Structure 1
Amino acid sequence: MEAKTGTRVAVVTGANKGIGYAAVMELCAKFDGIVYLTSRDETRGRKAVEELEKMGLRPAYHQLDIDDESSVVKFRDFLVETHGGLDVLINNAAIIFPMMTPAESFVESIRKTIDTNFYHTMRACKILFPILRPHARVVHLTSDDGHLLRISGREPEASVLRSKFAAPDLTEQELCQLMEDFIDAAKKGDYFERGWPNSVGEREDTWPNEGYIVSKVGISALTRIHQRQFDQDPREDLAVNCVHPGYVITDATFQKGEKTIQEGAEAACWLAMLPPSSPENVVPKGAYVWHDKQLVDWVNGPTPSIY
């Protein structure tokens, strides 16, 4: 693809299916610029592009595996060489494991989930954020599980953990240490006693996945850190928000849910296409956003609904 001077560029990670795919669909219809569908598996990604082309949409494609640092660097270099920068980034790529019963598998699933959903998302941001242009919009996909009140282990330990996550001056290093503290607690089997969530039996229609909860709480907390960094950035009007897409029917929910993928992508795309901020138009920044576009108090709640 030839470079297009002045053309705006949007990227959606993990977009060959599910919410990411629907986000590309909506952006292709409404975003004034080029939309990149990215995926870890190139064959699946190009097949998704073909499906969208049959609908009359024109997404671009590039391979991107956030678990592979070299893949992210290669994509960054491509964007710089081809377009000179990036205007919209929707961080959708994530994993979730079904219930693991053996202790080793349980800890392994937690490690992998935290790595992809938190650490590798954070690393991708470090690589891609320097090429964001003024007025860029970043959206992190979180979850209702990503609300701070989901840190719901034994008290008062859970309260101490929540206060650490909610600290207004929390650093990336301190946030990473919280992730490691959880992994250590999972290995020792005393995570609930140390304040971390135990999701077993919480709701009949969900599955135990403490690693997913903590990874998404981490992403929600990272959003606040990223916005503080953006507020100090010389580039004008950078905004990052995180969004709970709702209980969406996808592979990640084992095809259970209440919303279509199109409905699940609505709030993320709304945040991605927020207009430039002005005194007359104050856009959300560093916010935790519900699927109906409500801004929710991430620290104290309440959340608008169970999902």
Structure 2
Amino acid sequence: MSSNTRVALVTGANKGIGFAIVRDLCRQFSGDVVLTARDVARGQAAVKQLQAEGLSPRFHQLDIIDLQSIRALCDFLRKEYGGLDVLVNNAAIAFQLEDPTLFRIQAELTMKTNFLGTRDVCTELLPLIKPQGRIVNFSSSMSVRVLHDCSPKLQQKFKSETITEQELVGLMNKFVEDTKNGIHRREGWCDLIYGVTKIRVTLLSKIYARKLGEQRGGDKILLNACCPAWVRTGMAGPKAPKSPE
């Protein structure tokens, strides 16, 4: 491959919204499209499904909570393309309401994936983004509901226009620790773990967009957070009004 070939990459793309995004990028994007998934077999099966439709995505394994996996992807992008043009951070998890896993463990695992995993991908891949590149981090409209359910003190912190990445990570650590100690409600948190993690994704996006503007303003890189609302996926269930497409 040549560094002149444009490339778009989607995380968590073997099913659901990520899969639909890869399909549309294959149809509309002028360049290569990389479908990533934690599970190699499922990722390759998704690629074969799109190939049967006449599309040509590439596949690369990516587990966003495994730093070695992220760095292997970085090495691939440097070698094959000299960087990255479009990054869609879609990968996330959510426990179902009936899941018997202890609340504190759900909180730790969901935060580790949805916030820390997305943060690690951004930390490693954003330096590879080429001028006029695009980054989309998938958040959730549930984060707005959760924000309203948090205490006024927490709301003030989350709404701060000057919150730093270090402060945001500190709030994440406090939430996980408060759930372990059984005091998260007393400390002003909401019970909706998924929404709490997505507040952080939105804020992380604002922080990184600000940094990109300060450090690489001339490169005209655009970073946004996207809230797709209720979509029919394995995570959200079959009753949702929106299709992944």
How many equivalent residue pairs?
Answer: 244
**Cα offsets for 1:234-270 (capped at 9, x unmatched):** 35111111111121111101333111111xxxxxxxx
How many Å separate the matches in 2 of 1:144 and 1:193?
24
1:241 to 224, 227, 231: 224
Q: Is the 8 A contact 2:51 2:57 kept in 1?
A: yes
How many Å separate the matches in 2 of 1:93 and 1:67?
10
The reply to whether residue 112 of structure 1 matches residue 112 of structure 2 is: no
Q: Is the 8 A contact 1:152 1:197 kept in 2?
A: no
1:255 to 238, 241, 244: 238
| Counterpart code for 2:227 | H
Report the CA distance between 1:46 and its aligned residue: 0.7
The reply to whether residue 121 of structure 1 matches residue 103 of structure 2 is: no
Percent pairwise identity: 39
| Counterpart code for 1:227 | A
How many Å separate the matches in 1 of 2:94 and 2:74?
26
Q: Is the 8 A contact 2:12 2:91 kept in 1?
A: yes
Report the CA distance between 1:100 and its aligned residue: 6.0
Report the CA distance between 1:13 and its aligned residue: 0.2
Structure 1, unpaired ranges of 5+: 199-209, 263-307
How many Å separate the matches in 2 of 1:82 and 1:25?
21
Bigger shift: residues 227-236 or 54-63:
227-236
The reply to whether residue 211 of structure 1 matches residue 208 of structure 2 is: no
1:132 to 121, 129, 133: 129
| Counterpart code for 2:210 | R
Report the CA distance between 1:195 and its aligned residue: 1.6
Report the CA distance between 1:117 and its aligned residue: 0.3
**Cα offsets for 1:190-225 (capped at 9, x unmatched):** 322322113xxxxxxxxxxx2211100000110100
How many Å separate the matches in 2 of 1:194 and 1:256?
34
Q: Tell me the residue number matched to 2:214.
A: 232
How many Å separate the matches in 2 of 1:246 and 1:162?
21
Aligned 1:274-285 pairs, distance under 5 A: none
How many Å separate the matches in 2 of 1:171 and 1:165?
11
Report the CA distance between 1:174 and its aligned residue: 0.2
Q: Is the 8 A contact 1:250 1:256 kept in 2?
A: no
CA RMSD of aligned residues (A): 1.5
Q: Tell me the residue number matched to 2:147.
A: 151
Report the CA distance between 1:185 and its aligned residue: 2.1
Runs of 4 or more consecutive aligned structure 1 residues displaced over 3 Å after TM superposition: none
Structure 2, unpaired ranges of 5+: none
Report the CA distance between 1:145 and its aligned residue: 1.2
